[in-house]
């Protein structure tokens, strides 16, 4: 099997893998967006900036503190998550009674501030982040070479997404979360501290974005704009999947990454726009999104 549909197999599988990796990031980011949206009813426009902060946190931990990849994978999301908690306490929590669009505008402003500060500090050109030695090298799969790190990203993202899904669907904490999504006032009446839960949910969603950033750091160069272009695609992914469903956003994320990878093989010029085209088609056929409830 050297050629499939007239395409050399290594090229096809190479692009499929790239697509799967992009899909992993789409899934992680849209998952975070869905979790935040579910409880807070805001679209977190700062999500891309927080993804970028995760990557920068990993870079800073290594460059300034000598702390390596594995600790960064734990510490960076905590640090970025804490900044998220602070942002929610200081700013976002003031907007819950207003139109949801204000939340979108506020987080957009926050994204501009974060990106601008990082651009001033680190410039626009990317900073390199080395692949940890345990994950460098490549496996020979017979039909293609698979860089170990890329395989790791896909597996890690899958594990993370499934864990989050299980946490929300199967645990007591998740049950509170789902209940508060349905009716916050009632859950509060049962003695659950809903405002604190909202704050922590935002922190957790932001931390998810930051994990994505750390995972992305060795693949893409670490630069201040790395999140903003990604996040617009993720918005399209979210519109396609519908924000109501956690599992839906994971599946849509991976699937669209693969579609994008395949498009790169068969029609490279369209690969940047294919997700948006799919979004348009889905909106025409099913305005609520593939997994949407409304």
Partner 1 sequence: MADTTSITAAAIPDVAQEAGGVWGFSRAQLVGLGILLVFLVVAPFVLYPVFLMKLYCFALFACAFNLLIGYVGLLSFGHAAYFGMGGYLAGHAAKVWGLTPELSIIIGGVTAGLLGVLAGWIAIRRQGIYFAMITLALAQMVYFFCVQAPFTGGEDGIQAIPRGNLFGVIPLDRDLSMYWVVAAVFLAGFLLVHRIIHSPYGQVLKSIRENEPRATSLGYRTDDYKLLAFILSATLAGVAGATKSIVFGIATLTDVHWSMSGEVVLMTLVGGLGTIFGPVVGAAVIVTMQNYLAEMGAWVTVIQGVIFVACVLAFRRGLIGELAALLKVKL
* Footprint on this chain of partner 1 (rule: CB under 8 A): 41-43, 91, 94-95, 97-102, 104-106, 108-117, 119-120, 228, 232-233, 235-236, 238-239, 269, 272-273, 276-277, 279-280, 283-284, 287
As a residue count, the chain comes to 294
Q: Under a CB-based contact definition with an 8 Å cutoff, are residues 58 and 214 in contact?
A: yes
Task: Match 């645990």 to its residue by tokens.
Answer: 171
Closer by beta carbon to partner 1, 145 or else 276: 276
Closer by beta carbon to partner 1, 165 or else 276: 276
Give the three-class secondary structure for 145: strand
Closer by beta carbon to partner 1, 115 or else 153: 115
Instruction: Please report how close the Cβ of residue 30 comes to partner 1 at its closest, in angstroms.
Output: 11
Instruction: Please report how close the Cβ of residue 281 comes to partner 1 at its closest, in angstroms.
Output: 9
Instruction: Please report how close the Cβ of residue 288 comes to partner 1 at its closest, in angstroms.
Output: 8
Instruction: Please report how close the Cβ of residue 46 comes to partner 1 at its closest, in angstroms.
Output: 10
Closer by beta carbon to partner 1, 187 or else 214: 187
Instruction: Please report how close the Cβ of residue 246 comes to partner 1 at its closest, in angstroms.
Output: 18
Rounded to whole angstroms, the Cα distance separating 271 from 117 reads: 31
Closer by beta carbon to partner 1, 152 or else 225: 225
- β pairing state of 145-147 and 138-140: antiparallel
Instruction: Please report how close the Cβ of residue 73 comes to partner 1 at its closest, in angstroms.
Output: 29
Q: What is the 3-state secondary structure (H, E, C) of 108-141?
A: HHHHHHHHHHHHHHHCCCCECCCCCHHHCCEEEC
Rounded to whole angstroms, the Cα distance separating 287 from 148 reads: 40
Q: Under a CB-based contact definition with an 8 Å cutoff, are residues 59 and 222 in contact?
A: yes
Closer by beta carbon to partner 1, 86 or else 272: 272
* 263 phi, psi to nearest 5 deg: -60, -35
């Amino acid at each position: 099997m050297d050629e499939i549909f007239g395409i050399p197999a290594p090229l096809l599988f190479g692009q499929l893998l790239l697509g799967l990796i992009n899909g992993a990031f789409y899934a992680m980011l849209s998952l975070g967006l869905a979790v935040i949206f579910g409880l807070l009813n805001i679209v977190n426009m700062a999500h891309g900036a927080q993804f970028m902060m995760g990557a920068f946190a990993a870079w800073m931990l290594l460059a300034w503190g000598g702390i390596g990849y594995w600790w960064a994978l734990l510490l960076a999301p905590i640090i970025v998550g804490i900044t998220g908690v602070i942002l929610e306490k200081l700013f976002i929590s003031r907007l819950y009674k207003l139109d949801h669009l204000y939340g979108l505008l506020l987080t957009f402003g926050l994204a501009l501030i974060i990106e601008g500060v990082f651009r001033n500090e680190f410039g626009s050109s990317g900073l390199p982040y080395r692949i940890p030695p345990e994950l460098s090298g490549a496996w020979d799969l017979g039909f293609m070479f698979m860089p170990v790190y890329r395989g790791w990203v896909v597996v890690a993202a899958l594990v993370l997404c499934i864990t989050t899904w299980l946490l929300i669907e199967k645990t007591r904490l998740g049950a509170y979360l789902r209940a508060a999504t349905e009716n916050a006032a009632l859950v509060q009446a049962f003695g659950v501290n809903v405002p604190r839960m909202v704050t922590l949910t935002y922190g957790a969603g932001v931390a998810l974005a930051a994990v994505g950033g750390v995972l992305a750091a060795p693949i893409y160069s670490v630069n201040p704009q790395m999140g903003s272009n990604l996040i617009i695609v993720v918005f399209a992914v979210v519109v396609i999947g519908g924000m109501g469903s956690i599992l839906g956003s994971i599946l849509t994320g991976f699937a669209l990454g693969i579609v994008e990878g395949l498009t790169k093989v068969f029609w490279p010029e369209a690969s940047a726009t294919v997700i948006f085209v799919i979004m348009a088609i889905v909106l025409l056929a099913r305005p609520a999104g593939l997994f949407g409830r409304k």
